[in-house]
A and B are shown apart, each in its own frame.
With several copies, the nearest count.
Chain A
Amino acid sequence: MSSELIMTSVDSDQEAKVVVSGEIDIYTARQFKEKLYQFVDNSTKDIVIDCSDLDYIDSTGLGIFVGALKKARLTDRNISLENIRDNIRKLFNITGLDKLFIIR
């Protein structure tokens, strides 16, 4: 019911992984942006974002993914997205962002 957003992250020797669950919209976006950008800046590895429990994302949220990717690319890294639900996958297709990210 409530559109809270939870982001947890692990930056170990093996991987740099972010798990997002809940809803990324104009309300939760600012907090998410800060956390994600910080994670990208602090890590040195390719980044995996697990979207299994991401219920909803709007254009603000997609813009943040793009912003994070641009940051990662500055140091020759990539961002891949995992377990995206169909309704959200649709948004990546529509906007062409499916060609920007590694989606698996």
Chain B
Amino acid sequence: MESRDKIVVKLPCKPEYVSVARLTVSGVASRIGFDIDTVEDIKVAVSEVCSRIISVAGSSEKQYEIWFDISAKKLTISFSAKIERINCIFEDDEDGLGAAIINAFMDEVEYCPEGKDYILSMTKNFEVISCNGL
């Protein structure tokens, strides 16, 4: 598999389509080689972000996008949506259940990106054999 593939999914800000996001992310994560438990974790984390976007979007007429960036070492998933006056979608809820789940399942999470074209970005690394002298 080459080093930088991109996949994008654009969905309406409606609760009924979060299941579509879950299926797509499962497909991507398993295809690129994550094991079944990790696929489940990534799916759950993505679903939390989707739900949050839908909750804060305020209008079901809006759409959001999920970007998958696939490289040899990691999968980065970014979300974009035109949500007015909101930069941090998990603001006031950083110790909530949703954020706790995302933090536990992803390796890196960028919650409040400044001046970026996405509103949240998170990364899962492929496991690599440690060379840290262990």
Closest to A61 in B: B97
CA distance A58 to B44 in the complex (A): 7
Min CB–CB distance A84 → chain B (angstroms): 14
A74 interface hit (Cβ, 8 Å): no
B98 interface hit (Cβ, 8 Å): yes
Q: Are A26 and B101 in contact (CB under 8 A)?
A: no
Which residues of A49-80 have CB atoms within 8 Å of chain B's CB atoms? Answer: 56, 58-60, 62-63
Which residues of B54-73 have CB atoms within 8 Å of chain A's CB atoms? Answer: 54-55
The interface bits of chain B over 17-31 (1 if a CB of A lies within 8 angstroms of the residue's CB, else 0) are 011001100110011
B133 interface hit (Cβ, 8 Å): no
Which residues of A14-42 have CB atoms within 8 Å of chain B's CB atoms? Answer: 23, 25-27, 29
A91 interface hit (Cβ, 8 Å): yes
Give chain A's interface residue range (CB within 8 Å of chain B). Answer: 20 to 34
Q: Are B101 and A25 in contact (CB under 8 A)?
A: no
CA distance A23 to B43 in the complex (A): 13
CA distance A2 to B37 in the complex (A): 13
CA distance A25 to B55 in the complex (A): 12
| Contacts A1-B36, A58-B98, A95-B100 known; 12 new A-B pairs at CB < 8 A | A1-B23, A2-B30, A25-B15, A27-B18, A59-B48, A59-B51, A59-B101, A62-B97, A63-B97, A87-B40, A91-B44, A91-B101
